Structure 1
Amino acid sequence: MVYKILAINPGSTSTKIALYEDEKEVFIKTLDHPTDLIDKYDRVEDQFHMRKEMVMTCLKENGYNVKELSAVAARGGMLPPVKSGAYIINETMLDTLTNSPVMEHASNMAAPIAYDIAKEAGVNSYIYDSVMVDEFPDIARISGMPDLPRTSSSHVLNTRAMAIKVAKKYNKKYQDMNFIVVHLGGGISLNVHEKGRIVDLVSDDEGPFSPERSGRVPCRELINLCYSGKYDKKTMQRKLRGNGGLRGYLNTVDAREVEKMIENGNEEAKTIYEAMAYQVSKGVGELSTVLKGNIDAIIITGGIAYSKMFTSWIKERISFIAPVEIIPGENEMESLAYGILRVLRGEEKAREYV
């Protein structure tokens, strides 16, 4: 029997979909959502109908009927802490993602879209390796403020897939190796993989700024800004997530545009872009202490990893720590589909979300 799996992965400015027949990729598409379109919506949750309609239109244009699907795989959104692997999408999960997610994030839209399409197809829908996979030891949860414990939130799906891929390259098991993995995308996060578990991380609000996020900012000044009377809560949230980082400094979220600015002699653009790489490097150094220097490899992945300029700035600062593996792009769609394929084949068991 051939299993047909639709994978759905919403990002901040696009929704990626892919269709797989077993391990074979039939097609993959990126449905772009221009900034002026996204800005029309007050909340990420309000984008549901727009994104779902674009997915359905794309499937029809490519000649695929949802009735042929065996399952729908969705990127896991900002749920309370969950385990790694697969969960069946149910009404409880949808209510949490819609009404009380840990934070507003584009990934929160994946499960509702997948659930609706799967319902029409008469099959199950799943999330796999949620953004909120939590395998922290107790010591990693201490923040310094009792009211604000640290939580596990990073680009789990892509980073685990890349760590597994590098382990195979070294002819070893993922569970036997230690990695620091850097994800360079619209948001930037770094995490520590110790013998098959993600035991610590630098999230996109604890560390480097990114194309659209502010990252770690001075706390005292942030409090003053919040109470200055100049901005409401929504505006402040957008300053941190959406209007921060490269967009805040250079009015673009596209690293390629920034590199063009640099090529044209824009010194401010070079300083800002190099500062982002500088902060990524500091994050790697910070996490290297978690493993006490016992690191098999540092993996750099995500869309910006295609940039030789950006990755060279990072490599020259971190190469002394461990070998650096650069794997540009993302493996998220394949990871989603393959994970659910293992569930359908009985090789893994999906959990029930409660």
Structure 2
Amino acid sequence: MTAFGNFADSIAELGRTQIAATVRDRQATVLFSDWSRELEDLLIEDPVALADPSIRAELQSAISGLAQAQGSPAARLLLGEMISALLDAERNVQDGRLVMERLLPEAAVRYAGAHRPAILVINPGSTSTKVAWFVGLYKIRESEVHLAPGDPDGADARNDGILRWMQENQLLLNDLGGIACRGGFIAPVPSGTYRVVSEMLADLENPMIEHASNLSISMAVRLSQLAANPSKILITMTDPVVCDEVDTVERITGTVKLKRNGTGAHYLNHKAVWRILSSVLGQPAEEVNCITAHIGGGSSVAVHEHGQVTAVSNAFSGIPSANRAGRLELPPLLAALDRDEITSKELKSLVFSTGGLLSLAGTNDFRALINFIQQGATEDQQKKIQLILDFFGRQIAANMLQLALSERRIVAAVLTGGLARSEDIASRVRNHLNYFPLIRIPGSFEHEALAAGTLQGLCTPQSMKNYVRERDLLSDRRRAENRLLDTTIFSEVIRYRKHGTPITTLDELLASTCIKVKETFMPTVAIFGADNEEAILAAKKANEQGQYKLANFRLVGDFAAISKIAYDYDLVIDDANYIIDDTDNALVRGVELIQEGKAHIVMKGAYKTEEILRAVFKYLKGSGKLQPGQLISHCVVMDIPRRNKLLIISDAAVNTYPDQAKKVQILENALKVAANLRIPKPRVAVISAIESVNKSIESSVDAADLAALFKDRTDCIVEGPLSFDVAMDPAIAHEKKYKGQVAGNADILIMPDIDAGNVLYKTLTTQSGAVCAGVILLGDMPMILTSRGDSARSKLASMALSINMYLDLVSKGVLEGPPPTV
């Protein structure tokens, strides 16, 4: 053991002196070469030599000395190589006993040696169940029990296979002291070992994710019940995949609507290799801060700080792997979804099962890919394979570096999992990680970690965690965090926009209206027939704390009925924001409020639309505020998920079968809405079934005539007839060789009649996820129109649209609008 001793002494001396870094690195490299060669010779001569405590002590001393002396990339590289070689050598010594000793505290090691309890490990996969039988620290048997093709899956069917395996290997159920099971997708909990309890089974009735591992707890419980004395068998679960310990800041994403958690990483193996590394470094695990990357069929990264995993890159949205796409670039992904090049179903498949290497190379086997370089690949194929391998190496390193913040004081990084066996992949990762030692611990220690958890539970039962308590504490903590993360900072969106920039979403419309209200005054909305639940809810939404405050409201109608609805929906009648106007005739009183200047905007309540229109029309005509030739019409502004701008549709609610003169006015009113949305030169499509005039299709003739009337206008582009697809989809317009300027980019659709308009409006809102804002133009006066089927967001947007238009018209002097006096 001369080289081992020399290495330890020399490294210690190097750490105490200030020898030049290049000399130190060169000496360390030579010494490591001698050390590696002697270790290899030793194991050839005596495969179980590492079981000798004195030899292990020398190795530990050498590693500790190098760990203290590391200060250059070469030294860190040597430390990583040294630990990797040692653990690789230890792995198969005496049926894995040395690994188990590294996973367990000394008291549990002594307990296992004295009592030698038998432990069955159960680890279900999609078509098989991995099993292992431990006696004390020794793994006696390990196998994979497959389901027969066509056999029904379930706990009992899998247990039958395990019992046959036990019988074939002369393993007795009554000998068991414990069963260690994989756990499955129970409720999120912190890491650790848990005694299996009935609440786990209850939580698995509605698991977070459907997965074969969800069967393991039920399998373990049923197997134990077949023993002569079930109560003597301890059933445990250790470090399940649903562990969640991440810091609060790690939960934040780029949108308040989505929050991350710590689940979805290979916790069992992450925690195992962290404990093993701590043991090799000779330090308490809680004092070893490191990064572990499990790379294989699924890949994840975990940061270990002070005994907890404080940050993760999970197995579904981080590193791409053999069959998972990992993190995807959003702009090209959204563009592909818009072009129907990828469907949501295909995207889900790429995330969970058909992405990653399988998508890039047509195989999910890295070994096959690497071997193909020398076995038939063309020159271009070889180049692509090298690019793919570089891509994976960089992605693994980048995910690890992203989590390696300087304040975390990372001492080492570990590559583990099946893909860590590949020297090709490991070297590509190592090329990008020279800030800390990279240690390779290939494969998985899942069975050892599960068995170690059960052994620890048998030795010191108080060390096991209480599932219900930890589950509920974590749930309470996350709820408190959610309240914090959902805290409103600005009750209204404050978004910088250049003056005159087109409004492209209804959220922008809400923000613009809110700012305009603050800069001018808060108008008053009169709800005609406010004894209506939908109207009260919409009015409440407009002024709800933390939301957009858009208007004051006069609730016109029966006092008792309005008060009851307000009480039921927690709307406070404060005689400021909300005032009830008690009356038997809300139409008459509502018009009076408009006439007296006590209200500025009309909103539909319990009355039918046509009843309100008749009453307001009579007032407008009598007061001269409705000019000859002006028409009352309806516009709906649609915010469609697949479009990058708003769409105006008219008329879908008021004019049933308008003639040409009325369509001119409908278009003029739609242009007023477009001007309010700051669309500089709206593209108008007059809709028909076809793109050319056909005398047998009346709407095509009318559309051509209407377009001709606007041919010389410079404030808009009007084309017709156009079919809906040509007006809305540039690709279809191109395919149909349509040469007009609208060509799939319409801002306004003028519909042939109310049937077509209403069907389109309701189709878009119910089938495409569109949000809408509706307004009726009473000459120049906007009226808020909401539908019973509208979402709360649509109702709010409808109010914002009418208020925004009203304030614009006041600023231009078209409407009078001093703040009302009550």
Work out whether the TM-score is over 0.5: yes
State the shift of 1:111 in Å.
2.2
Is 1:117 aligned with 2:223? yes
Over 3 Å counting, the alpha-carbon distance change for 1:328 and 1:63 in structure 2 is same
Is 1:344 aligned with 2:450? no
Over 3 Å counting, the alpha-carbon distance change for 1:252 and 1:115 in structure 2 is farther
Q: Give CA deviations for 1:173-227 in whole Å, capped at 9, x if unaligned.
A: 1111110001112110001001211100111122111112111123455566678
Aligned twin of 2:279: 168
CA RMSD of aligned residues (A): 2.8
| Preserved contact between residue 141 and residue 151 of structure 1 (Cα < 8 Å) | yes
| Preserved contact between residue 120 and residue 179 of structure 2 (Cα < 8 Å) | yes
2: CA distance, partners of 1:5 / 1:67: 11
Is 1:104 aligned with 2:210? yes
2: CA distance, partners of 1:240 / 1:25: 36
Over 3 Å counting, the alpha-carbon distance change for 1:125 and 1:347 in structure 2 is closer
State the shift of 1:245 in Å.
1.6
Q: Give CA deviations for 1:299-346 in whole Å, capped at 9, x if unaligned.
A: 11111111101100000111x221111111111111110111110122
Q: Give CA deviations for 1:229-286 in whole Å, capped at 9, x if unaligned.
A: 97575x5433311222222333333222222123333423333233222211110110
State the shift of 1:11 in Å.
4.1
Is 1:309 aligned with 2:424? yes
Aligned twin of 2:394: 278
Is 1:20 aligned with 2:131? no
2: CA distance, partners of 1:113 / 1:245: 33
Which amino acid letter does the alignment assign opposite residue 388 of structure 2? I
Aligned twin of 1:142: 252
Which amino acid letter does the alignment assign opposite residue 239 of structure 2? D
2: CA distance, partners of 1:119 / 1:250: 48
| Preserved contact between residue 272 and residue 446 of structure 2 (Cα < 8 Å) | yes
Q: Which has the larger radius of gyration?
A: 2
Matches within 5 A, 1:101-250: 101-121=207-227, 122=230, 123-153=233-263, 154-220=265-331, 222=333, 228=340, 231=343, 233=345, 236-250=347-361
| Preserved contact between residue 246 and residue 312 of structure 2 (Cα < 8 Å) | no
Which amino acid letter does the alignment assign opposite residue 278 of structure 1? R
Which of 344, 365, 372 aligns to 1:254? It is: 365
Q: Give CA deviations for 1:152-187 in whole Å, capped at 9, x if unaligned.
A: 121111111111111111111111111000111211
Over 3 Å counting, the alpha-carbon distance change for 1:169 and 1:352 in structure 2 is closer
State the shift of 1:102 in Å.
2.1
> Bigger shift: 143-152 or 269-278?
269-278
State the shift of 1:68 in Å.
2.2
Which amino acid letter does the alignment assign opposite residue 145 of structure 1? T
> Bigger shift: 166-175 or 14-23?
14-23
SS of 2:322 mapped into structure 1: coil
| Preserved contact between residue 305 and residue 408 of structure 2 (Cα < 8 Å) | no
State the shift of 1:27 in Å.
1.1
| Preserved contact between residue 168 and residue 174 of structure 1 (Cα < 8 Å) | yes
- Please give the TM-score of this superposition, normalised by the length of structure 1: 0.87
> Bigger shift: 88-97 or 182-191?
88-97
Is 1:325 aligned with 2:431? no
SS of 2:218 mapped into structure 1: helix
SS of 2:368 mapped into structure 1: helix
Same amino acid, percent of matched pairs: 29
State the shift of 1:348 in Å.
4.5
2: CA distance, partners of 1:125 / 1:204: 27
SS of 1:70 mapped into structure 2: strand
1: CA distance, partners of 2:127 / 2:425: 22
1: CA distance, partners of 2:155 / 2:365: 24
State the shift of 1:67 in Å.
2.7
2: CA distance, partners of 1:8 / 1:179: 29
SS of 1:186 mapped into structure 2: coil
Which amino acid letter does the alignment assign opposite residue 216 of structure 2? A
1: CA distance, partners of 2:201 / 2:432: 43
Over 3 Å counting, the alpha-carbon distance change for 1:167 and 1:127 in structure 2 is same
| Preserved contact between residue 394 and residue 429 of structure 2 (Cα < 8 Å) | yes
2: CA distance, partners of 1:125 / 1:223: 47
Over 3 Å counting, the alpha-carbon distance change for 1:170 and 1:240 in structure 2 is same
| Preserved contact between residue 342 and residue 348 of structure 1 (Cα < 8 Å) | no
2: CA distance, partners of 1:340 / 1:206: 32
1: CA distance, partners of 2:188 / 2:241: 9
1: CA distance, partners of 2:146 / 2:462: 33
Higher RCO (CA < 8 A, seq sep 6+) = 1
Normalized per residue, the structure richer in helix is 2
Over 3 Å counting, the alpha-carbon distance change for 1:284 and 1:305 in structure 2 is same
Q: Give CA deviations for 1:40-95 in whole Å, capped at 9, x if unaligned.
A: 89xxx956555444433322222223232122111232223202212222333123
Over 3 Å counting, the alpha-carbon distance change for 1:105 and 1:292 in structure 2 is farther
2: CA distance, partners of 1:229 / 1:310: 31
| Preserved contact between residue 147 and residue 161 of structure 2 (Cα < 8 Å) | no
1: CA distance, partners of 2:157 / 2:385: 34
Normalized per residue, the structure richer in strand is 1
Over 3 Å counting, the alpha-carbon distance change for 1:33 and 1:209 in structure 2 is farther
> Bigger shift: 339-348 or 158-167?
339-348
Aligned twin of 1:72: 179
Which amino acid letter does the alignment assign opposite residue 279 of structure 1? Q
Over 3 Å counting, the alpha-carbon distance change for 1:229 and 1:311 in structure 2 is closer
State the shift of 1:347 in Å.
5.4
Gaps of 5+ in 2: 1-114, 469-822
- Please give the TM-score of this superposition, normalised by the length of structure 2: 0.39
SS of 1:7 mapped into structure 2: strand
Aligned twin of 2:190: 83
Which amino acid letter does the alignment assign opposite residue 253 of structure 2? S
| Preserved contact between residue 12 and residue 186 of structure 1 (Cα < 8 Å) | no
1: CA distance, partners of 2:322 / 2:292: 18
**Count of paired positions:** 343
| Preserved contact between residue 146 and residue 161 of structure 2 (Cα < 8 Å) | no
